[in-house]
Structure 1
Amino acid sequence: MFNKLLIGVLLPGAISLPALAGADFIEGDNTFAGEAELGATLTTGNTDTSSLKGRLGLKHELGNWENQYVLEALYKEDTDVVTAERYFAGAQGNYRFDDDDYLFANSNYEQDPFTGYDYKFTAAAGYGHRFVDTGKTIFDVEIGPGYQYQRLDSEQAQLLGYSSDASVVAHGVMNFETEISDSSKFRQLVVADYGDKLEARSETSLTASIIGALAMKFAVVVRYNSEPLEGKKSTDTETNMTLLYAF
């Protein structure tokens, strides 16, 4: 007998740098908002598979300061074999001079054993500018220097003869968001770090409101590494359909 159960439960789990779109803010000097997103699939019977995608994003404003905190987790298993596993944590602080210009500093930590690295740490600082803000459409760009450290797993370290990579990088972000209608929003986010190699992440998403603060989100994530380790591919893609709650 073949049973398939699709679960879309909301828990505190979401990330989105550099901004948390769709969240409403409390008026005043101290503002707080966030997004929680979760999607899960469980299949039993002739095929045993499970997957979990969780994201949590928080945004806190204190005068000219805007602080963002993000967490993300992805886990997939097929017949007791783990086929995907990724964990991410990041934080960013922005100091705004006005509505369009700001300085930023961020750091993030990522674990993805399927890349051949135990973990990756990146930190960057620089200048950000909002080129478009019509109320329904925004376009932000960030650029600045950064530092990246990657720790190889034991297999790759033995194969290559060294245990880590470290380099100075040029860090850039482009974030475009627009309201398609009163109940739907499109977003394109690109984050890139260029040093000894190019590492980039693109997320294209469409969010449609269901009721109140609850929405359905469809997203395609593409990760690119210009110089992957031996036996690894340069491009990873991820397609998600999740429920999202803004608060």
Structure 2
Amino acid sequence: MKKLLIASAILMAAPFAAQAGANFVEGDKIFGGDAELGATMTTGNTETTSVKARLDMKHELGNWENQYLLEALYKEDTGEVTGKRYYGLIQADYKFDEKSYTFVNGNHEIDPFTGFDSKSTVSAGYGHKFIDTGKTLFNIEVGPGFQYKRLDNESAAVAGYDTEDSWVAHGVVNYEQQITDSSKFKQMFVADYGDSLEGRSETSITANIIGALAMKFAVIVRYNSEPLDDKKSTDTETNMTLLYAF
């Protein structure tokens, strides 16, 4: 944990060091985001509950663009919890110009069904928007990071240790395309490569229903090249949610 705090301090300082020799661009403060919610509940002979919630917010101020993301997934089948995941992310981007920026982010995930009580990652690096036309966005982020994991009691007893940590190479590839005036396609890949390769792919299509209300269909794939002994390397998640933009 001490290594994680040291790494966090080093990586968090990166954008501020970049800002030291630059001036903020005066401009309006911009804040917005979207909230998602999807739920399924059945009673009677079959009793199931499934809830997916997500809150994604962005704040722009001068050269800074900050993102705050919260996600929650909960599944229950006949009184037994079959899925539970909580995820939070904070990212700050400092823009050098319209195309280039430096970033720093930290995220924390709780997913007991992977055999880990929690996983935390901090990273910093350089980002570049290769295409940004208003209708099409393609950007890549790369940089170093540090990852810290805590095993649950059962997995720790089998493995003989209760924590894992490693430096990682962090990368993000993001593509967004406005299909029509009321629909958008997004594809994002996130990867952390250290002692193992961990990746996340999210493919989604969003279509407006009325006003700020939209329907979103998403397929999420998570991959770990070295899962714990009794776990699978790939998890998939398919969601249909309502999205409200604000």
TM superposition score normalised by structure 2: 0.89
Q: Secondary structure at the match of 1:98?
A: coil
Aligned partner letter, 1:222: V
Structure 1 residue 134, shift from structure 2 partner: 2.0
- Where do 1:153-192 residues align within 5 Å? 153-192=152-191
Identify the residue that residue 12 of structure 1 maps to in structure 2. Answer: none
Instruction: Tell me the CA shift for residue 135 of structure 1.
Output: 1.9
* Letter aligned with residue 195 of structure 1: G
CA deviation vs aligned residue, 1:111-151 (integer Å, no higher than 9, x gap): 00000000000000000000011221110100000000000
Structure 1 stretches (4+) deviating beyond 4 angstroms? none
Residue 93 (structure 1) aligns with: 92
Q: Map residues 39-188 of structure 1 onto 2, 5 A cutoff.
A: 39-188=38-187
Residue 23 of structure 2 corresponds to which residue in structure 1? none
CA distance in 1, matches of 2:133, 2:110: 37
1:215 aligned onto 2:218: no
Q: Secondary structure of the equivalent of 2:98?
A: coil
Whole-Å separation in 1 of the counterparts to 2:58 and 2:181: 23
SS in 1 for 2:68: strand
Deviation at 1:80, TM superposition (A): 0.3
Deviation at 1:55, TM superposition (A): 0.2
Q: What count of residue pairs does the alignment treat as equivalent?
A: 220
Partner letter of residue 99 of structure 2? D
Give the whole-Å Cα distance in 2 for the aligned partners of 1:197 and 1:245.
Answer: 37
**Counterpart in the other structure of 1:226:** 225
Q: Which amino acid aligns with 1:190?
A: F
- Aligned equivalents of 1:214, 1:181: Cα separation in 2: 16
Taking only aligned residues, the RMSD between alpha carbons, in angstroms, comes to 0.6
User: What SS does the corresponding residue of 1:135 show, helix, strand or coil?
Assistant: coil
Distance 2:215 2:89 in 1: 24
Partner Cα separation in structure 2 for residue 44 and residue 217 of structure 1: 26
Compute the displacement of 1:211 (Å): 0.5
What is the letter of the counterpart of residue 93 of structure 1? Answer: A
Deviation of 1:75 after TM superposition, in Å, equals 0.1
Residue 171 (structure 1) shift: 0.2
Report the residue type matching 2:154 in the other structure.
E
Structure-2 separation of matches of 1:87 and 1:221: 15
d(CA) in 2 for partners of 1:59, 1:137: 19
1:189-208 pair list within 5 angstroms? 189-208=188-207
Deviations 1:68-126 (CA, angstroms, capped at 9, x unpaired): 11100000000001010000111000000111100000000000000000000000000
Structure 2 counterpart SS, 1:222:
strand
Amino acid at match of 1:124: S
Counterparts of 2:127 and 2:228 in 1: how far apart (Å)? 32
Q: Tell me the alpha carbon deviations over residues 3-25 of structure 1, each in whole angstroms, 9 at most, x when there is no partner.
A: xxxxxxxxxxxxxxxxxxxxxxx
Higher helix share: 2
TM-score (norm 1): 0.88
Shift of 1:29: 2.0
Paired with 1:238 and 1:190, the residues of 2 have a C-alpha distance of 15
SS of structure 2 residue aligned to 1:185: strand
Q: Secondary structure, in 3 states, of the residue corresponding to 1:126? A: strand
